[in-house]
């Protein structure tokens, strides 16, 4: 529940993204902007991509006064600059709270340090496992900063193997509704995801070794760790990566010993995770797609795939990459969304919530979603990731008996509407602001 307060928070939504994730992060930021404003807060979007393009004409200054921290853009040429065209505000912007996704603020270390040093609360929301953001985390201050992760398994492994001194919070992703309401369900089954050829783990390991990131005396244990986790992870797709890593550590005394060495522990965990996680995802996704095609299941694919792995199949139609807002519209037009998300503990994926919020049935590999409130046959349909025949059977059944899916669809819609919209996440982010402020007050000297 959101803390009761009449205070207006000066919120800065920081947008600085790569080509690959600009659209999805832009959508999340737009959703939060609308919601925070509806809650009565003062919201500014700082689009650093736009500023970077025009930094020869305008300059970003940091200001401290009795009112707190502020930023301001100034015209370097002392001419009449069209700030609206540049997409940046011209007036002084007071900042109490900064929210960014995927640690993009770490790309501007001086700005991040300014906020951290001057009692501005900074919240960053990760969209993947923290091991994938290790370089950004390296340049992320700890003072006045919290990191949100969408799965409990991510938080637990981060604290155990990487860093237990940061403030972390469990913050799931959220769903977005179609802009074109009451879409007709023109598509039977849809699958949207990235699909690329998985790099062989040994190749990725050798590249890491060649960079000199690990001592020669540690190479043998590093390679063994990768091999053991790979075998376990690719023999049981129902287990989380964290489970697979934990089991390998417990089963091998030499790996246990290595993981007791503080500096080596973090390197081994991060690299094993990074090397194997993406490989496992792509390996499994190819198995899913191939099984569907082999069984003549008609699926509309938007796979964002540079390589056409299944061109030999006459029933394979990859519609290619779509902008993220259009993906939401396509999901809303579909009767069924197929999900093959890597298993996590208590996670919350935007793709699942998008589908449910647009009354699309989700058929997913068995997973621990949303505080275990997504229940097989009640508001979601699960299949055994190790038995893809079960996936085929369930897709066929609900394609042919779509009317029987309606109670499940409505239950899912009700749950997500109540608990997993961007309004819910905005309320949680406001709560975290006050939690962080309270922590600061308790740490002040008396």
Question: In terms of domains, do 43 and 123 share one?
Answer: yes
Dist CA 68 CA 336 (whole Å)? 50
Query: Does pLDDT of 82 surpass 90?
Result: no
Question: In terms of domains, do 412 and 439 share one?
Answer: no
Question: In terms of domains, do 402 and 332 share one?
Answer: yes
Q: What is the mean pLDDT of residues 154-163?
A: 93
Question: In terms of domains, do 289 and 438 share one?
Answer: no
pTM: predicted TM-score of the whole model, two decimal places:
0.91
Query: Does pLDDT of 90 surpass 80?
Result: no
**How many distinct structural domains can be found in the chain?**
2
Question: In terms of domains, do 315 and 169 share one?
Answer: no
Residue 151 lies in a domain: yes
Question: In terms of domains, do 205 and 118 share one?
Answer: no
- Please give the residue that has the higher pLDDT: either 4 or 262: 262
- For residue 339, the model assigns a pLDDT of 92
Beta bridge partners of 101: 125
Ordered DSSP codes for 34-55: HHHHHTT-EEEEEEHHHHHHTT
Identify the band that residue 290 occupies on the pLDDT scale cut at 50, 70 and 90: very high
Cα 424 to Cα 4, 6, 223, 368: the distances in Å are: 15, 18, 43, 20
DSSP 369: B
Question: Which domain does 338 fall in, by range?
Answer: 187-419
Strand arrangement, sheet containing 121-125:
42-47, 10-15, 97-101, 121-125, 145-149, 167-170
Dist CA 230 CA 340 (whole Å)? 18
- For residue 445, the model assigns a pLDDT of 47
Question: In terms of domains, do 168 and 191 share one?
Answer: no
pLDDT, one tens digit per residue, over 109-158 is: 999 999 999 999 999 999 999 998 888 888 899 999 999 999 999 999 99
Cα 22 to Cα 43, 108, 323: the distances in Å are: 20, 17, 10
Torsion of CA 214, 216, 221, 227, to 10 degrees: 80
Which candidate, 221, 204, 224, places its Cα nearest to that of 279? Answer: 204
Q: Which helix (H) or strand (E) holds 64?
A: strand 58-65
DSSP 342: P
Residue 30 lies in a domain: yes
| CATH assignment at residue 222 | 3.40.50.2000
pLDDT, one tens digit per residue, over 177-231 is: 998 876 689 999 999 888 887 778 999 999 999 998 899 999 999 999 999 999 9
Question: In terms of domains, do 170 and 228 share one?
Answer: no
């Amino acid at each position: 529940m959101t803390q009761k307060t009449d205070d207006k928070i000066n919120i800065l939504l920081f947008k600085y993204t790569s080509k690959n994730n600009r659209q999805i992060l832009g959508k999340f930021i737009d959703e939060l902007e609308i919601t925070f404003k509806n809650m009565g807060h003062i919201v500014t979007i700082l689009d650093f991509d736009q500023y970077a393009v025009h930094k020869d004409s305008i300059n970003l200054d940091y200001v401290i006064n009795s009112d707190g921290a502020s930023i301001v853009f100034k015209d370097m040429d002392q001419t009449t600059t069209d700030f609206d065209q540049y997409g940046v505000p011209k007036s002084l912007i007071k900042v109490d709270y900064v929210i960014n996704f995927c640690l993009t603020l770490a790309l501007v270390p001086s700005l991040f340090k300014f906020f951290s040093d001057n009692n501005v609360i900074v919240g960053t929301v990760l969209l993947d496992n923290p091991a994938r953001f290790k370089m950004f985390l390296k340049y992320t201050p700890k003072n006045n900063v919290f990191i949100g992760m969408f799965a409990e398994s991510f938080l637990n492994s981060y604290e155990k193997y990487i860093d237990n001194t940061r403030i972390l919070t469990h913050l799931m992703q959220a769903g977005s509704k179609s802009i074109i309401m009451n879409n007709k369900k023109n598509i039977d089954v849809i699958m949207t995801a990235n699909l690329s050829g998985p790099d062989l783990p040994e190749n990725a390991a050798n590249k890491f070794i060649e960079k000199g990131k690990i001592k020669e005396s540690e190479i043998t244990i590093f390679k063994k760790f990768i091999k053991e986790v790979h075998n376990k992870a690719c023999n049981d797709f129902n287990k989380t990566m964290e489970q697979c890593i934990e089991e390998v550590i417990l089963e091998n005394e030499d790996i246990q010993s290595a993981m007791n060495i503080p500096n080596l522990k973090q390197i081994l965990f991060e690299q094993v995770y990074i090397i194997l996680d993406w490989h496992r995802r792509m390996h499994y996704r190819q198995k899913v797609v191939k099984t569907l095609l082999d069984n003549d299941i008609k699926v509309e694919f938007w796979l964002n795939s540079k390589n056409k792995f299944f061109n030999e199949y006459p029933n394979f139609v990859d519609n290619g990459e779509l902008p993220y807002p259009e993906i939401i519209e396509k999901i809303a037009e579909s009767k069924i969304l197929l999900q093959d998300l890597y298993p996590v503990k208590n996670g919350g994926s935007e793709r699942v919530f998008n589908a449910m919020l647009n009354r699309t049935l989700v058929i997913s590999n068995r997973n621990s979603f949303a505080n275990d409130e997504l229940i097989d046959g009640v508001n979601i349909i699960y299949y055994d990731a190790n038995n893809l025949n079960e996936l085929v059977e369930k897709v066929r059944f609900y394609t042919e008996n779509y009317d029987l899916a309606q109670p499940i669809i409505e239950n899912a819609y009700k749950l997500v509407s109540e608990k997993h919209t961007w309004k819910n996440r905005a309320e949680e982010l406001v709560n975290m602001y006050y939690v962080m402020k309270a922590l600061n007050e308790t740490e002040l000297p008396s």
